[in-house]
Structure 1
Amino acid sequence: MARPRQRESGKWEIGLRHPSLPGGRKYFSFDTEAEAISYGEQWKLMKLAGVAPPDELLKPASPANSKNLGFIVRQWANSGLAAPSQHSVLGSLIAEVGSVPLADVTYAWIAQYVQRLKVKNNLAPNSIRHRIQALGRSIDEHLRNNPEVVFVNPVRLLPKGYSTYSALDQKLTEAAGKKVKEDVSRDRRLFPGEQEKIVAALSGFQREDRERGLMLLGGNALLTMFLLIVYSGLRLREAYTLTRGQIDFDAKVIRVRSSKQWRGKVVFRDVPMRPEVHRALQSYLSTRRLLPAANLFPFMDEDEGLTLTTVTARLSSRYLIAFTYAGCEGLHEHDLRHEATCRWLELRDATGNWMFRLEEVNRIMGWSSNSTMAQRYASFRGADLAQRMWATSEAAPEARAVAT
Structure 2
Amino acid sequence: MAKPRQKPSGKWEIALRHPQFADGRKYFTFDTQEEAEQYARQWKLMKEANLQPPAELLQPSRPAGGVRLARVLGEWEESGYAAPSQLLTLSTVTREVGGVKLADVDYTWLNGYLRTLKVDKNLSPISIKHRMQALGRAIDEYLRHHPELGMANPIKLLPRGYASYSDADKTLAEANGGEAKVNAPRERRLLPGEHELIVKVLSGWERPDRERGLQLKGGTALLTMYLLIVNTGLRLREAYTLKRHQLDMDGKVIRVQQTKQWRGKVSFRDVPMRPEVFHALKDYMATRPMLPNAFVFPFMEEEGADKLSRVSGRLSARFRIAFEYVGISDLHEHDLRHEATCRWLELKDAQGRDMFRLEELNRIMGWKPGSLMAQRYASFRAEDLAQRLWAVPAGPVESSGAA
Regarding TM over 0.5, the answer is yes
User: Which letter maps to 1:122?
Assistant: N
Residues 1:22 and 1:298: Cα distance change in structure 2 (over 3 Å): farther
Is 2:238–2:259's contact at 8 Å kept on the other side of the alignment?
A: yes
Residue 372 of structure 1: how far off its partner (Å): 0.8
**1:196-215 matches, cutoff 5 A:** 196-215=196-215
Q: 1:212 to 1:65 in 2, by over 3 A?
A: closer
Aligned partner letter, 1:386: A
Change (3 A) 1:390 1:264: same
- Distance, in Å, in 2 between the alignment partners of 1:101 and 1:357 is 52
CA contact (8 A) 2:122 2:181 kept: yes
Structure 2 distance, partners of 1:314, 1:217, is 11
- Distance (whole Å) between structure 2 residues aligned to residue 73 and residue 53 of structure 1: 40
CA drift of 1:329 comes to 2.3
Aligned residue in 2 for 1:355: 355
* 2-structure distance, mates of 1:298, 1:186: 29
In the alignment, the residues of structure 2 paired with residue 54 and residue 189 of structure 1 have an alpha-carbon distance, to the nearest angstrom, of: 74
Is 1:373 equivalent to 2:365 in the alignment?
no
State how far apart, in whole Å, the 1-side matches of 2:383 and 2:34 are: 77
Q: Evaluate the alpha carbon distance shift between residue 18 and residue 157 of structure 1 in structure 2; reply closer, same or farther with a 3 A threshold.
A: closer
Alignment of 1:112-261 (within 5 A): 112-261=112-261
Partner of 1:315: 315
Change (3 A) 1:119 1:257: same
CA distance in 2, matches of 1:145, 1:113: 25
CA RMSD of aligned residues (A): 2.4
Kindly tell me: are residues 68 and 316 of structure 1, through their superposed partners in 2, closer, same or farther at Cα, counting changes over 3 Å? same
| Match of residue 331 from structure 2 | 331
The aligned counterpart of 2:44 is none
> Residues of 1 paired with 2:192 and 2:202: CA distance?
18
- Which moved further from structure 2: 89-98 or 160-169? 89-98
Query: What per-residue deviation string (whole Å, max 9, x for no partner) do you get for residues 205-230 of structure 1?
Result: 12222223222212100000000000
What whole-Å deviation, never above 9, does each CA across 1:343-375 have from its counterpart, x for those lacking one? Answer: 000100111110001111111000001111110
Q: What TM-score does the superposition give when structure 2 sets the normalisation length? A: 0.84
> After TM superposition, where is structure 1 displaced by more than 6 Å over at least 4 residues in a row?
17-20, 58-61
Q: Tell me the distance in 1 between the aligned counterparts of 2:13 and 2:184.
A: 54
Pairwise CA distance, 1:377: 0.4
Where structure 2 has 5 or more consecutive residues not aligned to the other structure, the ranges are 1-6, 16-31, 41-56, 397-403
Alpha-carbon shift at residue 22 of structure 1 (Å)? 7.8
**Which ranges of structure 1 fall in alignment gaps of 5 or more residues?**
1-14, 24-50, 398-404
Contact conserved, 2:258 with 2:366, CA < 8 A, in 1? yes
Cα deviation for residue 148 of structure 1 reads 1.6
1:91 maps to 91
Measure, in 2, the Cα distance between the counterparts of 1:19 and 1:172.
Answer: 42
Partner of 1:294: 294
Alpha-carbon distance in structure 2 between the residues aligned to 1:305 and 1:272: 29
Offset of 1:391 from its aligned partner?
2.0
Q: Residues 208, 80 of structure 1: CA spacing in aligned structure 2 closer, same or farther, 3 A cutoff?
A: same
What does residue 30 of structure 1 align with? none
1:392 match: secondary structure: coil
Instruction: Describe the SS at the equivalent of 2:148.
Output: coil
Q: Tell me the secondary structure at the aligned position of residue 379 of structure 1.
A: coil
For residues 8-58 of structure 1, give each alpha carbon's deviation from its aligned partner in whole angstroms, at most 9, with x where no partner exists: xxxxxxx937896489xxxxxxxxxxxxxxxxxxxxxxxxxxx859749x9
- Which position in structure 2 is the counterpart of 1:16? 8
Aligned amino acid, residue 385 of structure 1: L
Q: Which has the larger radius of gyration?
A: 2
- Equivalent position amino acid for 2:8 in 1: L
Q: Deviations over 1:113-160 (max 9, x none)?
A: 111110111110000000001111001001111122200111001110
Q: Deviations over 1:283-333 (max 9, x none)?
A: 000111000000000001011552100000000000101111122220110
SS at match of 1:256: strand
**TM-score normalised per structure 1:** 0.83
- The letter of the residue matching 2:274 is R
Is 2:204–2:216's contact at 8 Å kept on the other side of the alignment?
no
* Map of 2:268 onto structure 1: 268
**CA distance 1:284–1:101, shift in 2 (3 Å):** same
Q: 2:13 touches 2:36 (CA, 8 Å); kept in 1?
A: no
Are 2:65 and 2:102, in contact at CA under 8 Å, matched by a contact in 1?
yes
CA distance in 2, matches of 1:53, 1:392: 94
- The alignment partner of 2:254 has SS state of strand
Superposed CA offset, 1:47-78 (max 9, x none): xxxx859749x999852322111110100000
CA spacing shift, 1:281–1:103, aligned 2, 3 Å: same
Q: Which moved more, 1:234-243 or 1:66-75?
A: 66-75
For 2:203, the aligned partner's letter is S
Query: Size of the alignment, in residue pairs?
Result: 355
